[in-house]
Amino acid sequence: MQIGPYRIANRLILAPMAGITDLPYRNLCRQWGAGMAVAEMASSNPALRATRKTLQKTDHRGEAEPRVAQILGAEPEQMAQAARFNVERGAQIIDINMGCPAKKVCNKAAGSALLRDEGLVARILDAVVRAVDVPVTLKIRTGWDPAERNAVRIAKLAEDMGIGALSVHGRTRACGFSGQAEYHTIGRVKQAVRIPVIANGDIDTPDKARRVLALTQADGVMIGRAALGRPWIFREIETFLATGVGSAPPGRGTIYATMREHLLALYAHYGEFAGVRIARKHVGWYLGQGLDADSGVLHTFHAQESARQQLAFLAELFDGPRQGVSG
d(CA 255, CA 233): 12
**Catalytic annotation present for 29:** no
Q: Which of 29, 100, 106, 175 is catalytic?
A: 100
Confidence of residue 137 (pLDDT cuts 50, 70, 90): very high
> Angle, to 10 degrees, between the axis of helix 151-160 and the axis of helix 118-131?
30
d(CA 234, CA 205): 10
Confidence of residue 326 (pLDDT cuts 50, 70, 90): very low
Q: List, for residues 175-217, the tens digit of each pLDDT value.
A: 667 678 899 999 999 999 999 999 999 999 999 999 999 999 9
Whether the Cβ atoms of residue 98 and residue 117 lie closer than 8 Å to each other: no
DSSP 46: G
d(CA 307, CA 323): 22
Strands (DSSP E) found in the chain:
2-3, 6-7, 12-14, 36-43, 68-72, 93-98, 136-141, 165-169, 197-200, 220-223
Q: What is the CATH number that goes with domain 2-243?
A: 3.20.20.70
Look at residue 79 in the predicted model and tell me its pLDDT: 96
Q: List, for residues 206-263, the tens digit of each pLDDT value.
A: 999 999 999 999 999 999 999 999 999 999 999 999 999 988 889 989 999 999 999 9
Q: List, for residues 263-298, the tens digit of each pLDDT value.
A: 999 999 999 999 999 999 999 999 876 566 667 888
